[in-house]
Structure 1
Amino acid sequence: FGIPNSQSTATGLGLRYDSIDDPINPRRGAEFYTLLESISKKVSALDSISAGGSFKQKRLVVDASWSQPLWNFQVFYMGLHWRQVTSNEPVISITDQFRFGGATTLRGYREEQFRGSRIAWANIEYRYLLARHSRAFLFYDLGYFFRVEEANKKIEQIKQSFGFGVRMETRLGVIGLDYGMGEGDTLLRGKIHVSLINSF
């Protein structure tokens, strides 16, 4: 794919806050996590056209979520996520960009379908608690990505989806089943996402 060899050295600083009452099926509380990294990157020349060099990158990760009980067995949940990489490279390599889409980020789309040097997504859910670690829910997901390609071509899009799902506690762990409909999908042409959360 024309990706040159590179070596990177990173230093970072992270911060985490957690006040949720249950890590698997929270009813109330908030979570926050952020990581800032400074990266020195050395790129080898791929051929006579692509010159190598030394570059500086900064990467930012932010994750925040909030759960609020409404009525009996009902919970409102919101998750907000941000990823960004900046660099003095003319174009940020595909391997350094962030990817998202699929079961854990933007449901209703393929896994890691989208990429960018700047991405964000939000997950909003109305949950009905079935048991301690089981629930049914409706969801709305919103995603954004931005990247610059060759010839300074800028690509920036917003994607959204909606659907429903369940989390069921089993002996194997918590099994997740989501049915999401992205842009252009109909009720019968959505995507099914299956996941397993082990709680050892």
Structure 2
Amino acid sequence: IYDVEPRAIEIGERTDEVIFNAHVIEAHSGRIEGMLGYAPPITPESRAKLTGTIFIDETNILGSGRALHFEWRSAESKRIEFRYLEPWILGRPIDLSLRYERQAGFKSYGISLISRLNFRYLIKGGFSYEMAELNGMRNRAVKFEAGFRRDVRDYALNPTSGDVESANLGVTAGDYRLGRFTLGAQIYLSTRRNQVLALGAHLGKLFGRDIPPFELFSLGGANTLRGYPEGWFQGGSMAYANLEYRFLTGLGSHLFLFVDLGTTNPPQLQISYGVGARLEARSGRLNLCYGLARGDSILNGKIHVSLGTAF
């Protein structure tokens, strides 16, 4: 649902009954989105860097509730991911998810079960079979994962209140062994009319020896440390926080100021800041962000652009 416009409330046939009339605008279930990152040359000898990502999502195939997701990333990893979701297994509120992922030197096939306790709480668990090229040798492993998510935002596209919390645990066993744990929280506070303060904090830790490079956490780019190139920082641990002050301009749109803090190698803390805009309509959306890393001049920032269309 994209929007609900209340029309009238009528008295029902019983004393404890009312009839609510509204005009419901249904959101498009399909979306194609492209993301582009531009980083100017750091030195006179270096070159500008251009990175890109493409997402294709269909969340309600032919009205059945089935979903498809495709993702492609440029940069060094050349990552490709494909996911398919089959809802209501055996007539229960349990979804079956199939996943295929490939990037440089790594392939993964996964299956998981997702249980939605209600519209706000989600529990998932599953396993995947992984093949990786490490030090010239082919390695195989099985990963077991479990996670929880709670979402009590008032409006997911452009929240003014509420919060989102998540926790995930993964264990990999086979030719290489490791554990992964992540926590995340995002809080939205209405400060003044059409103004919102958004605060986020995310933590992650890997446990194990000789951790493969494709398992490392990464920071930098449009979704984490804006103002740094995509995946600029990598490490076995991760701490990231963001602050945005938003000026709402429409149902799904806002302008914002931001500050990002993060590290994959404590105690070295990175910081970035900047401005941006998110413009949303039923037919698509545009995200534009200009970020400055520590030490950047005002004209030497990074531009992150995301353009999507719905179908």
Both structures adopt the same fold (TM-score exceeding 0.5)? yes
Aligned position for 2:291 = 180
Which of 159, 162, 167 is equivalent to 1:34?
A: 167
Aligned position for 1:157 = 268
Q: What SS does the corresponding residue of 2:199 show, helix, strand or coil?
A: strand
Q: What SS does the corresponding residue of 2:163 show, helix, strand or coil?
A: strand
Using the alignment, how far apart are the partners of 2:158 and 2:141 within structure 1?
Answer: 38
Using the alignment, how far apart are the partners of 1:3 and 1:122 within structure 2?
Answer: 37
Using the alignment, how far apart are the partners of 1:62 and 1:35 within structure 2?
Answer: 7
Report % sequence identity. 35
Higher relative contact order (CA 8 A, sep 6+): 1
Using the alignment, how far apart are the partners of 1:3 and 1:180 within structure 2?
Answer: 38
Unaligned runs of 5+ in 1: 43-54, 147-154
Which of 125, 129, 144 is equivalent to 2:263?
A: 144
Aligned position for 1:59 = 180
Q: What SS does the corresponding residue of 2:307 show, helix, strand or coil?
A: strand
Q: Does structure 1 residue 23 correspond to structure 2 residue 134?
A: no
Moved more, 128-137 or 96-105: 96-105
1:17-66 per-position Cα deviation (integer Å, ceiling 9, x unaligned): 11001112111000011110111031xxxxxxxxxxxx431101222100
Q: Does structure 1 residue 102 correspond to structure 2 residue 217?
A: no
Structure 1 residue ranges, 4+ long, deviating more than 2 angstroms after superposition? 1-5, 196-200
Structure ID, larger Rg: 2
Using the alignment, how far apart are the partners of 1:193 and 1:70 within structure 2?
Answer: 27
Q: CA deviation at 1:172?
A: 4.4
Q: RMSD of the alignment, in Å?
A: 1.9
The letter for the 2-side match of 1:84 is K
Q: CA deviation at 1:120?
A: 1.5
Which of 204, 207, 232 is equivalent to 1:113?
A: 232
1:168-196 per-position Cα deviation (integer Å, ceiling 9, x unaligned): 12454221100100012111111111123
Moved more, 7-16 or 159-168: 7-16
Using the alignment, how far apart are the partners of 1:9 and 1:156 within structure 2?
Answer: 33
Aligned position for 2:119 = none
Q: Is the 8 A contact 1:30 1:64 kept in 2?
A: yes
Which of 179, 198, 207 is equivalent to 1:86?
A: 207
- Aligned residues, how many? 178
